[in-house]
Amino acid sequence: MAGGGAVRLPPRLSLARLPTPLRALERFSALPAGSRVWIKHDELTGTELSGNKIRKLEFTLAEAQQQGCDTLISCGGLQSNHARATAILGARLGMDVHLILRGERPDTPDGNLLLDHLAGATIHYLPQHEYHRHEQLAADLSEDLSKRGQSPFFIPIGASDEIGLWGYVAASAELRDDFREANVRPDAIVCATGSGGTQAGLIAGNALYGLGTQVHAIAVSDDEAYFRNKITRDFQRWQKRYADHLPEGFDPQALPISTIEGYIGPGYGRAEAPVFELIRELARSEGILLDPVYTGKAFLGMLEEMHRGKLQGMQDIVFIHTGGLFGLFPQRGQFNW
Ligand SMILES: Cc1ncc(COP(=O)(O)O)c(C=O)c1O
């Protein structure tokens, strides 16, 4: 396996506030004795553009601009953090944005959807039972817009494809510097996985930049097989498209893909009381805010696995805080008030 050095990043826009801090938890008391949890604060990549998506979109939008596109089309849930980041970046870069969102138009917009609306994105609502058609709909929309003289660029859910994959490959170089500075050699990096792009980027980046750690992703939407297939396919496309950017002999397909199941709870986007209790506890003890859709579930999963599971006995673990704050507000009713 190739070590660091020879990787060459493709064109990238500078959109995120980087580097984000890496800090160890100081007061949160539910960790097993002898273990430390470090937070990589990617919720601080921006304010309105906070979270993991912007790291991927730096590469995705550079590609869209290189292709001369003036319109972005993307998809996701009503409270998609990725859709919100796309809407705001579109406004910032002077591009039209069309979002195909799963669900019905609510009477009052909240959380990410409110920001999509404020940023001027055109929103196409697609009911849950028809959502399997979203890529076809995006293709039809793209054709329509092209006929009207626009030049659209399609971004798949979560910008998780062979282009967006670079986001967390590049973040791994930042992590390498963080670890050096903090003088820590983490046993594992943990993140939430929803569309697989953050996980895939970290897996590849861990190998490319010689981080020498393990990457474990906590599933918040699909099962282990889904992420294995998705990441395997994205790695294939990535390797083919960017062969001249990767070190010779580097084979991402040989890398372990660890997806931890069991923490989805009642379903994607819906969480049970322990997740909300944890969100409150971390806010009170450390001033860190998680969300109930991604980071809250992933953090809870990490804790459980540290006590009795795949992360048991580990000393230093890095949790990637991937953002998601705006998704907290539409679920305000779940907190005891
Ligand atoms: C806040 C947050 N955390 C984690 C994830 C998961 O990242 P990925 O889609 O790259 O798997 C997402 C998006 O899906 C997200 O919005």
Strand order in the sheet with 188-193: 22-24, 36-41, 316-321, 188-193, 214-219, 258-260
Residue 3 has what pLDDT? Answer: 44
If you average pLDDT over residues 171-187, what whole number do you get? 98
pLDDT-derived band at 6 (thresholds 50, 70, 90) equals confident
What is the set of domains in the chain, with CATH numbers?
A: 22-52+161-334 (3.40.50.1100), 53-159 (3.40.50.1100)
Q: Average pLDDT, whole number, for the chain?
A: 96
Long-range contacts of 60-65 (CB under 8 A, 24+ apart): 60/155, 60/159, 60/163, 60/164, 61/13, 61/15, 61/89, 61/93, 62/10, 62/11, 62/12, 62/13, 63/10, 63/11, 63/153, 63/163, 64/95, 64/153, 64/155, 65/13, 65/93
Residue 243 has what pLDDT? Answer: 95
User: Which pair of tokens denotes residue 280?
Assistant: 């409150």
pLDDT, one tens digit per residue, over 256-269 is 999 999 999 999 99
- Are 263 and 302 a contacting pair, CB within 8 Å? no
Nearest CA to ligand 1 atom 12: 194
User: Which pair of tokens denotes residue 185?
Assistant: 């050699």
Q: Which atom of ligand 1 is nearest to the CA of 197?
A: 10
Quote the percentage of the chain above a pLDDT of 70: 99
- Are 11 and 66 a contacting pair, CB within 8 Å? yes
Tell me how far apart the alpha carbons of residues 227 and 229 are, in angstroms, rounded to a whole number. 5
User: Which pair of tokens denotes residue 166?
Assistant: 């670079």
If you average pLDDT over residues 55-71, what whole number do you get? 98
Q: Round to the nearest angstrom and report the end-to-end CA distance of the chain.
A: 53
Active-site annotation holder among 50, 80, 160, 195: 80
Q: What residues flank ligand 1, with Cβ below 6 Å?
A: 51-52, 81-82, 158, 160, 192-199, 291, 294-295, 322-324
If you average pLDDT over residues 193-206, what whole number do you get? 98
Nearest CA to ligand 1 atom 13: 194
Quote the percentage of the chain above a pLDDT of 90: 98
pLDDT-derived band at 336 (thresholds 50, 70, 90) equals confident
Query: If you measure from the C-alpha of residue 296 to the centroid of ligand 1, how many angstroms do you get, rounded to a whole number?
Result: 12
Tell me how far apart the alpha carbons of residues 3 and 247 are, in angstroms, rounded to a whole number. 8
Query: If you measure from the C-alpha of residue 255 to the centroid of ligand 1, how many angstroms do you get, rounded to a whole number?
Result: 21
pLDDT, one tens digit per residue, over 311-327 is 999 999 999 999 999 99
Within 5-111, strands assigned E span: 22-24, 36-41, 71-77, 96-102
pLDDT, one tens digit per residue, over 27-53 is 999 999 999 999 999 999 999 999 999
- Are 95 and 71 a contacting pair, CB within 8 Å? yes
Residue 2 has what pLDDT? Answer: 42
If you average pLDDT over residues 284-311, what whole number do you get? 98
CA angle 220, 270, 234 (to 5 degrees): 25
195: annotated active-site residue: no
Residue 13 has what pLDDT? Answer: 98
If you average pLDDT over residues 214-228, what whole number do you get? 98
Residue 337 has what pLDDT? Answer: 87
Residue 93 has what pLDDT? Answer: 97
CA angle 11, 88, 19 (to 5 degrees): 50
Tokens 């009477």 belong to residue? 107
Q: What is the maximal distance between C-alpha atoms in the chain?
A: 63
